[in-house]
Structure 1
């Protein structure tokens, strides 16, 4: 919200009063004087005007979690346990998920109460790399790297996937980098070779890599550098 609009919600001030406070340098956002009425403020910003608290900014939370298998990427579910149940209730109630995984998949998940940050982290237009470790039921076909690099046509959506990079780790295991997050995309890509995915583990999203010290079900706060990388 624009700063002047936020201040105009105060019952004591109309727009003329608000502009006067701003011009006179009597408004601070996070303890910094702001004179621009169009300055954008979020729910996380603390705003004072004329020494009076107008908005007490709420704390922002940015977490990474190592999702175990069998847990739903959802805020609630009547049948299955969800990732939110892995967190303290007081913390989980304000969070949402950035970048879901299906119930059988494991690995990196991002949780936050900052909607703008979450949208940046998962914006498909940014074509941010997502890296997965994939275990397959059968040996990887010799043509897989080339076919994935050229893109695979999905007739249901009438789209062709972006070029993906495959690194072989074993006869039936690989590391795959994709730049999208379409519905069951990796399973459908390997479905071209009729090779079922046995296990799928997300290692990284953009510049954020799953902390190797986190056991399945554990989480930690993102560092300032990780937050700024989005």
Structure 2
């Protein structure tokens, strides 16, 4: 199997992330740095990603974290503290993040070593809902709900977002549910309405909800019911 397909299937990485890591020389196959996404690999290949061995034979682990502001959604970083570093050393090996949050964004973050499961969360075609509490700089315009329900066109990707659901909580705050996880998606959606996001906090992914008692920086293992709930989210017909 080609390296990019293998990492997409088993490590929960998007093709874009794989290309970035390859270009940075962050992927090794059998102790050798490779720059080719077509490098042939199999289950006996020894693959390191950013210095960490991809091990497919360890028990699957699933964690929910209340991510604080200022923490980077990454495995390693030379300058900033990463979410992985908040996990106990005995538990963090091989973990990756299933749906990253911006450094300033807070709330529900999922970490796992199950690539197939995490891909179900992050693939836009699966339509797994992600709900955020949003605070804006300016009052939310009356047209926002209608615009979001139709989808916002992103010229860079040449695509339109899936219809989003908004619940107005105050003139400058709302609860927003989206069904993808595009780059800076919510900030770009509000920018398209002439507004700016001041604070962003993720409350839920699918049926998995952030515990109100879980303090920023704390985490817990997901229950089996929470893990299984992700598989119940199916793409709409025709997707």
What's the TM-score once normalised by structure 2's chain length? 0.71
Q: CA deviation at 1:195?
A: 1.3
Which residue in 1 is equivalent to 2:161? 161
CA distance in 2, matches of 1:117, 1:160: 25
Which residue in 1 is equivalent to 2:147? 147
CA distance in 2, matches of 1:144, 1:174: 11
CA distance in 1, matches of 2:221, 2:211: 11
Runs (4 or more) in structure 1 with deviation over 3 Å come to none
Alignment of 1:40-189 (within 5 A): 58-189=58-189
Give structure 1 stretches of 5+ with no counterpart.
Answer: 1-42, 44-56
CA distance in 2, matches of 1:58, 1:100: 23
SS class of match (1:89): coil
Which residue in 1 is equivalent to 2:37? none
Which residue in 2 is equivalent to 1:190? 190
Q: CA deviation at 1:93?
A: 2.1
Q: CA deviation at 1:189?
A: 0.5
Q: Is contact 2:67-2:217 (8 Å) kept?
A: yes
What's the TM-score once normalised by structure 1's chain length? 0.74
CA distance in 2, matches of 1:184, 1:225: 30
Q: Is contact 2:75-2:84 (8 Å) kept?
A: yes
Give structure 2 stretches of 5+ with no counterpart.
Answer: 1-42, 44-56, 231-239
Number of aligned residue pairs: give it.
175
Q: CA deviation at 1:158?
A: 1.0
Superposition CA RMSD, Å: 1.3
